[in-house]
C-alpha cells in the first residue's frame, strides 16, 4: 500500500537525503516532497508501517499525520 505522510523537520535537500539514505534499504522506494514536507512510501503491512514511523522518529523526522493511503 502506498502511504503519504506529513512529517516534521523536512526543510532542505539534506533532510530529504538523510531520510532516503537512512530508510530506503529497509523500506524501498521513498519519495520526499520538500515543498509540502511530505514523505510517500510503499509499505506491505501494519508492522512495517509501525517500524517506518519509529525509524522516522529516531532519525529526527516524526510523522505528524497520514494524508493518503492507496
Query: Cα–Cα distance between 39 and 23 in angstroms, integer?
Result: 12
This prediction has a pTM of 0.94
Domain containing residue 8: 2-69
| Overall number of domains in the chain | 1
User: In CATH, what number is assigned to the domain containing residue 28?
Assistant: 3.30.70.100
Give the tens place of pLDDT for each residue, 12-64: 999 999 999 999 999 999 999 999 999 999 999 999 999 999 999 999 999 99
Radius of gyration over every alpha carbon of the chain, rounded to an integer in angstroms: 11
Do residues 41 and 21 make contact, with C-beta atoms less than 8 angstroms apart? no
Amino acid at each position: 500500500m502506498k502511504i503519504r505522510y506529513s512529517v516534521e523537520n523536512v526543510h532542505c535537500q539534506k533532510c530529504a537525503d538523510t531520510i532516503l539514505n537512512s530508510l530506503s534499504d529497509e523500506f524501498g522506494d521513498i519519495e520526499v516532497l520538500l515543498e509540502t514536507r511530505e514523505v510517500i512510501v510503499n509499505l506491505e503491512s501494519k508492522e512495517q508501517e509501525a517500524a517506518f514511523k519509529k525509524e522516522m522518529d529516531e532519525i529526527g523526522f516524526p510523522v505528524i499525520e497520514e494524508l493518503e493511503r492507496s
